């Protein structure tokens, strides 16, 4: 049973206000018919976002042979899909509160790792796997803004004790970070598929390939040391889905993911 809307409104109100341009961008790029001119025009409305997007385009992550000087140039060099991923990443980072705190730094690295791993390991090409992975943990930001250090302690104690964070969140706050993530994406006007992927990323056999991709990214990210959602660490090796076990055993690919996460992080500093 879902938590009544009235009960969770307090958490949504405490979530830091992301810029209207950032929210519009996330909604726009979810449209498979969006044109590169629409994306470029929207990004250009926010000079800071443009700057961060171009820094990502020129970062080691994409190994460009020539410097990218404009959003349109970036689209030509890396493609519209990659450019929108960069812009959404930069837009989300700009709105993240308390970015210097260890908890938020770990949360951000987990989100980026989940996005990269989920996109790479999708069983078949899935639209929005990167965006869904990047946003899947946004409910934790709402709980952090509401509970402050009390919430940080709850996460740390749940993880260190091997307990299910969602159960502890519901006991303390009446909702959990996955449910909140789905409701936040709904409030932002993002597609239902992305809402469900965020809300159900801890539910086995959720029935959606997009949700499965996000869940796989989240599990692998946790188990290779990129932050935590606090609900997968209790899995032991024998319980891993076959694809997860195979990926965790591929050290070369894990090193690639680690390099990519670091490149994203450095490009946004």
Enumerate residues 6+ apart whose C-beta is below 8 A from 237: 245
How many domains is the chain partitioned into structurally?
A: 2
- Asked if residue 102 and residue 56 are part of one domain, the reply reads no
Domain boundary among 60, 95, 130: 95
We report the CATH number of the domain holding residue 205 as: 1.10.3210.10
What is the model's pLDDT at position 1? 46
Residue 265 has pLDDT above 50, yes or no: yes
Measured in whole angstroms, how far is the alpha carbon of residue 230 from the centre of its chain?
A: 15
- Asked if residue 46 and residue 149 are part of one domain, the reply reads no
Q: Please, are residues 190 and 30 in contact by the beta-carbon 8 Å criterion?
A: yes
Domain boundary among 95, 127, 155: 95
- Asked if residue 141 and residue 71 are part of one domain, the reply reads no
Q: Which of 12, 156, 179, 27 is nearest to 88 (CA)?
A: 27
Domain that holds residue 201: 98-269
Residue 178 has pLDDT above 70, yes or no: yes
Average pLDDT over residues 87-109: 88
Can you give the pTM of this predicted structure? 0.87
Neighbouring C-beta atoms of residue 121, cutoff 10 Å: 19
- Asked if residue 109 and residue 26 are part of one domain, the reply reads no
Half-sphere exposure of 23 (CA within 13 A, CB side): 11
Neighbouring C-beta atoms of residue 169, cutoff 10 Å: 26
pLDDT tens track for 103-158: 999 999 999 999 999 988 776 666 688 889 999 999 999 899 888 999 999 999 98
Q: Please, are residues 115 and 134 in contact by the beta-carbon 8 Å criterion?
A: yes
Domain boundary among 40, 62, 95: 95
- Asked if residue 33 and residue 131 are part of one domain, the reply reads no
Three-class secondary structure of residue 237 per DSSP: helix
DSSP annotation of 3: P
Does the residue 1 lie in any domain? no
Neighbouring C-beta atoms of residue 13, cutoff 10 Å: 11
Enumerate residues 6+ apart whose C-beta is below 8 A from 209: 122, 123, 124, 126
Q: Which of 55-59, 63-67, 202-206, 255-259 has the highest mean pLDDT?
A: 255-259
- Asked if residue 171 and residue 119 are part of one domain, the reply reads yes
C-alpha angle 68/113/100, rounded to 5°?
80
pLDDT tens track for 6-58: 556 777 776 766 777 878 887 777 777 777 788 888 888 888 888 888 888 88
Does the residue 8 lie in any domain? no
What is the model's pLDDT at position 66? 74
pLDDT tens track for 205-240: 777 889 989 998 998 998 888 987 866 555 556 677
């Amino acid at each position: 049973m879902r938590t009544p809307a009235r009960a969770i409104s307090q958490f949504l109100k405490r979530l830091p206000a992301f810029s209207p341009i950032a929210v519009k961008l996330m909604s726009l790029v979810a449209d498979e018919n969006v044109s590169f001119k629409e994306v470029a025009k929207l990004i250009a409305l926010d000079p800071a976002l443009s700057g961060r997007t171009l820094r990502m385009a020129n970062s080691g992550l994409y190994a460009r042979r020539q410097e990218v000087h404009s959003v349109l140039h970036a689209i030509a060099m890396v493609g519209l899909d990659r450019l929108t991923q960069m812009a959404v990443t930069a837009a989300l980072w700009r709105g993240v509160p308390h970015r210097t705190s260890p908890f938020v730094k770990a949360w951000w690295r987990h989100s980026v790792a989940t996005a990269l791993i989920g996109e790479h390991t999708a069983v078949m090409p899935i639209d929005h796997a990167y965006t869904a992975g990047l946003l899947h943990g946004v409910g934790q930001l709402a709980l952090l803004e509401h509970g402050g250090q009390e919430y940080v302690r709850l996460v740390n104690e749940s993880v260190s004790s091997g307990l299910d964070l969602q159960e502890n969140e519901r006991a303390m706050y009446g909702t959990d970070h996955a449910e909140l993530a789905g409701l936040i994406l709904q409030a932002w006007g993002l597609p239902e598929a992305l809402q469900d992927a965020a809300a159900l990323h801890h539910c086995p056999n959720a029935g959606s390939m997009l949700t499965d991709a996000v869940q796989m990214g989240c599990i692998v990210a946790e188990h290779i040391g990129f932050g935590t959602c606090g609900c997968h660490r209790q899995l032991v090796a024998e319980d891993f889905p076959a694809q997860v076990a195979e990926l965790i055993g591929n050290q070369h690919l894990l090193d690639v993911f680690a390099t990519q996460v670091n490149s994203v992080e450095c490009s946004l500093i």
